[in-house]
Amino acid sequence: MPFPGSLKEEVNSTPSPASDWPLGPFSSYQICLWVSRPLHCSLSPHRSRSYQNSAATDGVMLYMVYLSKENLQRFKQLLVEESPRPGSLQISWDQLKTARCGEVVHLLIEYFPGRLAWEVTHDIFAKMNQAELCLRVQMELNDILPNLEPEALNPRETQMNLEEDESDKLREYRLRLMNEYSTLWNRTAWPGNHTDFFYQDLHREETFLPCLLLPRKPQGRQPKTVVLQGVARFGKTSLAKKVMLEWAENKFYAHKLWNAFYFHRQEMGQLDEQSFTELIARKLSGSRALASKIISKADQLLLLFDGFEELTSTLIDRPEDLSEDWSQKVPWSVLLTSLLSKRMLPGATLIIFLRFTSWKNLNPFLKCPSLITLTGFSVPERSRYFRTYFRNKSEADEALSFVMGNTILFSMCQVPVICWMVCSCLKQQMERGANLLHTFPNATAVFVHYLSSLFPTRVRNLFNKTHQEQLKGLCSLAAEGMWERRWVFNKRDLSLARLDETDIETFLSVNIFRRVVGNKDLYAFAHLSFQEFFAALLYVLCFPRRLRNFHVLDRFHVLRLIAHPGRKRNHLTQMALFLFGLLNDTCALAVEQVFRCKVSLGNKKKLLKVAAQRHECDPPTPHHGVPQLFNCLHEIREEVFVSQILNNCRKATLVISRSKDVQVSAFCLKFCRRLQELELTVTLIITKASSLYPDPLPASGPEGSDRCYLWWQDFCSVFRTHESLEVLAVTNSTMDPDSVKVLSTALKRPHCKLQKLIFRHVSPLVLNEALISVLVENQYLRYLEIQDTEVRCQVMEFLCDALRHPQCFLQCLR
């Protein structure tokens, strides 16, 4: 199974917490490269399929990525045979033998400065009879030539003069990295010893790493600062460790004489003051002399920064407070800011791993950063993963059909480790002959079954601590961290949660906890979703010995949970989803059975009281689909409860950009019985034969590829069932004919009493004959508004005919 994912790249554009799970098989990344149209010249179809929808446009010679292994090898052989040109240097076979596509581009640009690199590439492609690639090379050269700046670097970098003991220390450092990171990377099961989880194709990971520092347009120079951003769980830490492992094995840009160092937040926060020399020396068995020699060659430094999300708000914004002296002891905030801003060691290459929430704070401190976004498994990759995991086709069809029928669960599978976890749970239940719909009434139920299998179920007699008390301590720690945005815990935090050394060792052994890299006394949940789940579980647990037998949620915390994230990402989104899911009666019963604990539904009334007071559904920003409350209510799936909350909802603003938005909105809108106004933005193509999932799917209908179309039909049914609905505003939308037809049909129903129909900035395809006919067939429509929208001639004729029709009762046209 490849290392899939989607990676979008920008340069310096504006877009929580502990390190991501450090095991390689769960990292998710791939290069997304932009091409104007698919290539055909003997390229690997697998590569072409992986990258043809990229948004990145600033890397140079991206066509090299599309070469098959055979053609890349042939290109390298011809490059070695290429005679030196004035101003260039000869590349040896030793340098090219193991070089991958991105590294070949590096060598070309360094050894053949300026336009020479493109001229040599063009000549080699001509010898290979790759006419289309020759054309692409020429087009790219013409495009970037006015801004092209040859690298001011000497390809023949000089080795440091090291003493024998210093060379030994550097060799020991590499070996230590290989021992530490290869052990993590090679584990093919997580957690425990499952043998049914595997990857067969490392193609994408091998393609991505050498292109991480690909020279960028328009100058054609390697970026000196690269920022990889993504939400938690998408493998940023895994990627950082893979870079370090490849460097230790001399595979990562092997022609570069880089010395690579990985820094986690905890390393720089251990001391109040420290120098960069001391920081490096600690990694080199304490050798300050060796550290100084390495640092003195700043252009050969590769520095990786990870886990600094919580510290970006404390960076120093006064330039005069920063330091250029790497031997000077300074506060950690000064040291970090000096390094990130290039005030210290301006020649070093930096790779920074961040969560989305930190980019805004960090961006002003960076010089010309290249921003890369990690987005996890794409839809087809999730589908292919299921088919690889379930080797039996009928089992794969059953599992995939079930998961795709629950779009919240399917969207969670964007995270590779959760995709594996879901497959593992489904397979276990299918082998038992269980009914998946009954066993997993919602996405939360999958986590209930999986995490209960990890949690130690034996009652502990030490200090009279019961199983429920142990579970309470774990949940208290998780919840405290979520409210305070803390994902790393020290011994004192665990003690306050009444977790002792035995508890800690137990949770470490079953992979609920993990030790933080670089500090054996700091701990985090093995995966952020574990912390989110156990935090939610705290508010469902029953404590019989207490006067109030459950942990009460106050109004403020409920509002934080169900608030729409707006332009900022709400780090409590997943915790809220789990809480509502756990309050589902079937799921709550499963918690009692598998966790062997008592459950209280006392907070259900609090959620009902607070959420029901929100008469209007939060309008989402253009970056989000539906209100957070809608997602939560879809997860609880109890009609009486949902109806009580949404009964007074008078206006809803929805952005439909994913299949999940359609399913969730269709479910919730039917309970908004007093809905009067609906503002709708649709950017999802919803065809009757849905192409959302390119892989072959099981059956048609709700079990197969037409399910999104059927959800859209359910969505539009509110226009005939909700007679109070008077206003529909469609804005910023692109709709296909099939979805417009479903909408038009619903608006023509006798029970549809819509009075105002508004279109603002919509695609011309939205206004077609079917929609215009609504003016004649809906007797209640009085107002039509069309703004910032192209109205084609034929549609204008339909409109004129409709306005003249005796059954058209329109009173206002704007």
Residue 158's pLDDT is: 62
Is it the case that residue 184 has pLDDT exceeding 50? yes
Contact 264, 279 (CB under 8 A): no
Handedness of CA 518, 521, 525, 531 (dihedral sign): negative
Say how far apart CA 214 and CA 782 lie, in whole Å.
Answer: 58
The one-letter code for the residue type at 408 is I
Which has the closest alpha carbon to 383: 714, 691, 782, 631? 691
User: Taking residues 741-760, what's their average pLDDT?
Assistant: 94
More confident residue, 565 or 566: 565
| Structural domains of the chain, with CATH | 7-147 (1.10.533.10), 164-210+231-365 (3.40.50), 441-613 (no CATH)
Residue 363's pLDDT is: 82
The one-letter code for the residue type at 397 is D
Residue 165's pLDDT is: 82
Q: 191: cis peptide before it, omega within 30°?
A: yes
Query: What percentage of the chain carries pLDDT values higher than 70?
Result: 79
- Cα end-to-end span (Å), the chain: 55
Lowest mean pLDDT among 323-337, 400-414, 749-763: 323-337
Lowest mean pLDDT among 92-101, 118-127, 688-697, 706-715: 688-697
Say how far apart CA 662 and CA 642 lie, in whole Å.
Answer: 17
Q: Identify the residue whose tokens are 């390495």.
A: 294
Say how far apart CA 635 and CA 645 lie, in whole Å.
Answer: 14
793 CB-near residues (< 8 Å, 6+ apart): none
Tokens at 528, concatenated: 């952020």
Say how far apart CA 62 and CA 728 lie, in whole Å.
Answer: 45
Is it the case that residue 539 has pLDDT exceeding 50? yes
Is it the case that residue 29 has pLDDT exceeding 50? no
- What value does the mean pLDDT of the chain take? 80
Q: Identify the residue whose tokens are 């007679």.
A: 723
Q: 218: cis peptide before it, omega within 30°?
A: yes
Is it the case that residue 710 has pLDDT exceeding 90? yes
User: Taking residues 646-663, what's their average pLDDT?
Assistant: 92
Which has the closest alpha carbon to 771: 789, 683, 665, 658? 789
What confidence tier does 774 reach under pLDDT thresholds 50, 70, 90? very high
Is it the case that residue 205 has pLDDT exceeding 70? no
Say how far apart CA 617 and CA 629 lie, in whole Å.
Answer: 8
Strands 523-525 and 513-515: antiparallel
508 CB-near residues (< 8 Å, 6+ apart): 514, 515, 523
Which has the closest alpha carbon to 245: 180, 170, 201? 180
Say how far apart CA 732 and CA 681 lie, in whole Å.
Answer: 6
Say how far apart CA 178 and CA 185 lie, in whole Å.
Answer: 10
Best-predicted range by mean pLDDT (19-33, 509-523, 644-658): 644-658
Strands 727-731 and 756-760: parallel
Is it the case that residue 281 has pLDDT exceeding 50? yes
The one-letter code for the residue type at 389 is Y
Is it the case that residue 136 has pLDDT exceeding 50? yes
Element (H or E) spanning 274, and its range?
A: strand 273-274
Say how far apart CA 413 and CA 381 lie, in whole Å.
Answer: 10
Which has the closest alpha carbon to 66: 27, 38, 26? 38
HSE value, Cβ hemisphere, 13 Å, CA-based, for 649: 25
More confident residue, 34 or 456: 456
Strands 783-787 and 756-760: parallel
pLDDT digits (tens, 9 = 90+) for 219-267: 677 889 999 887 766 677 778 888 999 899 988 888 888 899 998 876 6
Strands 370-374 and 651-656: unpaired
More confident residue, 253 or 184: 253
Collapse the DSSP code of 280 into the 3-class scheme (helix H, G, I; strand E, B; otherwise coil) and give the result.
helix
User: Taking residues 40-66, what's their average pLDDT?
Assistant: 47
Say how far apart CA 172 and CA 150 lie, in whole Å.
Answer: 36
Tokens at 587, concatenated: 């799921």
Bridge partners, 667 (sequence order)? none
Contact 323, 254 (CB under 8 A): no
Residue 218's pLDDT is: 66
Say how far apart CA 112 and CA 82 lie, in whole Å.
Answer: 11
Residue 46's pLDDT is: 30
More confident residue, 8 or 661: 661
CA 705 to chain centre: 24
CA 213 to chain centre: 21
DSSP assigned state of 59: B
Q: Identify the residue whose tokens are 């082998």.
A: 431
Residue 28's pLDDT is: 37
Element (H or E) spanning 573, and its range?
A: helix 573-582
Angle between helices 628-636 and 639-646 (to 10 degrees): 160
Say how far apart CA 363 and CA 317 lie, in whole Å.
Answer: 12
Collapse the DSSP code of 185 into the 3-class scheme (helix H, G, I; strand E, B; otherwise coil) and give the result.
helix
Tokens at 389, concatenated: 């995991």
Maximum distance among all Cα pairs of the chain, rounded to whole angstroms: 98
Collapse the DSSP code of 212 into the 3-class scheme (helix H, G, I; strand E, B; otherwise coil) and give the result.
coil
pLDDT digits (tens, 9 = 90+) for 575-628: 999 999 999 999 999 999 988 888 898 899 889 988 887 644 554 444 455 788
Handedness of CA 580, 585, 587, 593 (dihedral sign): positive
User: Taking residues 666-673, what's their average pLDDT?
Assistant: 95
User: Taking residues 558-574, what's their average pLDDT?
Assistant: 77
Which has the closest alpha carbon to 573: 563, 581, 583, 582? 563
Residue 368's pLDDT is: 85
Phi-psi label, residue 606: left if phi above 0, alpha if psi -120 to 50, beta otherwise:
alpha
Bridge partners, 730 (sequence order)? 680, 759
Query: What percentage of the chain carries pLDDT values higher than 90?
Result: 42
Q: 369: cis peptide before it, omega within 30°?
A: no
Contact 709, 738 (CB under 8 A): yes
Is it the case that residue 400 has pLDDT exceeding 80? yes
Is it the case that residue 461 has pLDDT exceeding 80? no
DSSP assigned state of 539: T
Lowest mean pLDDT among 116-130, 506-520, 636-650: 506-520
pLDDT digits (tens, 9 = 90+) for 479-535: 999 999 888 899 999 999 999 998 999 899 888 998 876 567 888 898 889 999 999
Best-predicted range by mean pLDDT (253-262, 269-278, 400-409, 465-474): 400-409
Residue 237's pLDDT is: 78
Residue 6's pLDDT is: 37
Say how far apart CA 375 and CA 55 lie, in whole Å.
Answer: 13
For 331, phi then psi, to 5°, come to -60, 150
Handedness of CA 411, 414, 418, 423 (dihedral sign): positive
More confident residue, 757 or 521: 757
Is it the case that residue 8 has pLDDT exceeding 70? no
Residue 240's pLDDT is: 86
What confidence tier does 11 reach under pLDDT thresholds 50, 70, 90? very low
Contact 238, 19 (CB under 8 A): no
Contact 588, 599 (CB under 8 A): yes
87 CB-near residues (< 8 Å, 6+ apart): 113, 114, 116
Residue 465's pLDDT is: 58
Per DSSP (E only), the strands in 574-723 are 651-656, 677-682
Say how far apart CA 54 and CA 571 lie, in whole Å.
Answer: 28
Collapse the DSSP code of 787 into the 3-class scheme (helix H, G, I; strand E, B; otherwise coil) and give the result.
strand
User: Taking residues 713-724, what's their average pLDDT?
Assistant: 95
